Amino acid sequence: MLNEKLHEALNRHMNSEFYSFYMYLSMAAYFDSMHFKGFAHWAEEQANEELGHAKKMYQYILDKGGKIVLLPIEGPPSTWDSCLAAFEDVYKHEQKVTQQINSLYEICQENKDYATQTFLHWFITEQVEEEAMSSEILERIKLAGDSNSAVLLLDNELGSRQGE
């Protein structure tokens, strides 16, 4: 059984993962409208991954005898000024998610909930990958600068992302 504070926090975090799904799906639509099919593909794959994260959290709450509370999901942005601005948002978002997971872990420690700590290890490791990937893409967009050719090469590369 989950501690009440942790139960509420896990439900809030599940909601955050659903927001991540929305954000990346919105980003995919934006990139598609700008004819950046590779960026759109990358964002859609990322959206699917985030949905998987939400479902993982959902199942864990149920497995621990908790009640699922689906909260309203804030609407994400639907446009960005550039690919650079979009990936600046991605990186900031992933840093925020990392902070949220760290806060969950702290609640687990306070309540000596070792099972949930173990469960969260997967998310902690995943966030290292998420931040590294978004940071790398962001830095490559910055390196491309005003070179349309370089951005199009990156777009092509991101289009080859395989789903997990």
Question: Is 157 annotated as a binding-site member?
Answer: no
Question: Is 139 annotated as a binding-site member?
Answer: no
Question: Is 109 annotated as a binding-site member?
Answer: no
Cβ(27)–Cβ(129) under 8 Å? no
**Alpha-carbon distances, residue 24 vs 5, 48, 68, 75, 94 (angstroms):** 29, 9, 23, 11, 11
**Alpha-carbon distances, residue 138 vs 131, 134, 146 (angstroms):** 10, 6, 14
Question: Is 53 annotated as a binding-site member?
Answer: yes
d(CA 2, CA 33): 44
Question: Is 94 annotated as a binding-site member?
Answer: yes
Place of tokens 């967009």: 141
> How many other CB atoms sit within 10 Å of the CB of residue 65?
9
Q: Which amino acid is at 105?
A: Y
Q: Specify binding-site residues for Fe cation.
A: 17, 50, 53, 94, 127
Q: Specify binding-site residues.
A: 17, 50, 53, 94, 127
